[in-house]
Structure 1
Amino acid sequence: MSGQFSGRRALVTGAGQGIGRALSIKLAEMGAQVFALSRTKSHLDTLKAECPAITTVVVDLSNWDQARQAVSALTPIHLLVNNAAMASLDSVLEAKPEDFDASFNINVKSVMNVTQVVAGDLVARKQKGSIVNVSSQAGQRALKDHLIYCSTKGAVDMMTKVMALELGPKGIRVNAVSPTVVMTAMGKIGWSDPAKAGPMLARIPQGRFAEVEDVVNSVVYLLSDQSDMVNGHLLPIDGGFLAA
């Protein structure tokens, strides 16, 4: 298991904290040559200190040209995880146009940008690859005060399917994971209030939120050859939330 991804180059966006950070470390432990991308240098510095084998890349994905140039310099990339995202939580009547633009730029447009570079290079080299987009249960179920966030993740879900349809014949699989609330450091702060957490937990049959490892393990499966016939799917990591 430790050498499962030996000889493969992996890129994880939004790798400075939370899911992206844990995933980068896991992939390195499993033998991949990992490139961890984030816009926050201090987060990447601590990641590098924790796992020196990882190559860190500081770039703002909201800048189309700079992101494209930075990712191009890393190719070939055989395993891509589009994890970078932001959350802007407002109601329908209070959502702001600047938050809409910023959220779609990071959560959706950057996925297209990075994937175009990585997949385009693989196609040119006639090499296979696997891509996982980190979506959310919010892409499939309406949540109060999540107008913009739900919309971006719904877009990621359909983008995943179109990518799978077009890239599958070229040997590149594309899937997505759709977690419920994840207990990252930020998640613990945002959902530590029982009054807020209670109603959401009541909608999850397993009665708990996801841990970072739950998401990491699912992404690893989708990246691996063990899921070789899985393409174009949205894998819920939600304890049954979407089944209710």
Structure 2
Amino acid sequence: MNIRFDGKRALVTGASRGLGRGIVKKLAECGAECVALSRTQDNLDSLKNEVPGIQTVMVDLADWTATRHALENIGKIDLLVNNAAISIASPFLETTKDDLDKILDVNFKAVFNVSQIVARSMVKRGNGGAIVNVSSIGSRKALMNAGSYCCSKGAMDSLTQVMATELGPHKIRVNSVHPHLVPSTGMGDSAFGSFPAGVLEYILSRIPLNRFPDVEDVANAVVFLLSDKASNLNGIGLPIEGGFEAN
């Protein structure tokens, strides 16, 4: 399946490492002009060295007003990937308000904020567009010591449905992907390291394909949902978990 985004402009949040970095590279391979957003300039610089044609934006998405200022003159965006997220591991009974606020600011409020900015521009231009929200298996299945993270992704899923319903008439499609734990990403490695002995082996035994997804798996799914090949998909949540939920 040949997917091309020539003439399209894509914004990816949380773009400087992990899943976001892989998604930017895949979109660029497919011809998109990419805008990579992150709060870490060094990581953005190294990404730009690898993908020289990208534009970079440094801003902390937890800051609602600063995000608006950073994106107010970003220009036309045809494709948006809301990938930025944080996780703070803690048992439900020990989770603090401060930790909950930090996670919701990035994992939910920032998605609302960035999507609102971009979608308003899409509606004004009248040419439609596509948005993919990077959710998690954690919005569908409980993850130990990740109550605030799971709730933030559940809120994202509800927002995806609302956006798909309200923006669909403007030819803007909104979907989400739901990866299982992904090794070799900062968040994935942190999650893997937080499990007691034997838990990862048990989780893997529940996955019929007997492997966790990798960055390429997620990037390919995101690119598909952004493309015209998925032109009648709107409001769906695509699991990327090797059949975990089926088992």
Distance 2:235 2:116 in 1: 17
Partner of 1:113: 113
Shift of 1:2: 7.5
CA distance in structure 2 between the aligned counterparts of 1:185 and 1:196, rounded to whole angstroms: 19
Equivalent in the alignment of 2:241: 238
On the 8 A contact 1:2/1:29 being kept in 2, the answer is no
Secondary structure, aligned partner of 1:191: helix
Matched, 1:159 2:162: no
CA distance in 2, matches of 1:238, 1:181: 8
Structure 2, unpaired ranges of 5+: none
Matches within 5 A, 1:1-244: 4-186=4-186, 187-188=188-189, 190-191=191-192, 195-244=198-247
**What secondary structure does 2:203 align onto?**
helix
Other structure's SS at 1:226 match:
helix
Structure 1 residues 201 and 170: CA distance shift in structure 2, 3 A: same
Residues in 1 aligned to 2:30 and 2:131: alpha-carbon distance in whole angstroms:
17
Q: How many residues of Structure 1 are paired with residues of Structure 2 in the alignment?
A: 244
How far apart, in 2, do the equivalents of 1:86 and 1:184 lie?
15
How high is the TM-score relative to the length of structure 2? 0.94
User: Once the two structures are aligned, what percentage of the paired residues are identical?
Assistant: 48
* Contact 2:131–2:172 under 8 Å retained in 1: yes
C-alpha distance in 2, partners of 1:215/1:185? 12
- Say which SS state the counterpart of residue 100 (structure 1) adopts: helix
CA distance in 2, matches of 1:15, 1:96: 28
Q: 2:218, 2:240 within 8 Å by CA — same for their partners in 1?
A: yes
Q: Offset at 1:72?
A: 2.2
Deviations 1:38-93 (A, max 9, x none): 00001001001111011111111011111112122112100000000001121111
Measured against aligned partners, the alpha-carbon deviations of 1:140-173 in whole angstroms (never above 9, x if no partner) come to 1112211101100111111101100000011100
Spell out, residue by residue over 1:218-242, the C-alpha distance to the aligned partner (whole angstroms, 9 max, x if none): 0000000000000000000011112
Matches of 2:140 and 2:21, distance apart in 1: 25
- Asked if structure 2 preserves the Cα contact closer than 8 Å seen for 1:14 and 1:85, the reply is yes
Query: Quick one: structure 1 residues 175 and 125, their matched pair in 2 at CA, closer, same or farther if it must change by over 3 Å?
Result: same
1:152 and 1:146 map into 2 onto residues whose CA distance is 10
- Whole-Å separation in 1 of the counterparts to 2:146 and 2:70: 31
Q: Distance in 2 between matches of 1:120 and 1:184?
A: 35
- Match of 1:175, SS state, is strand
Distance in 2 (CA, whole Å) between partners of 1:53 and 1:69 is 23
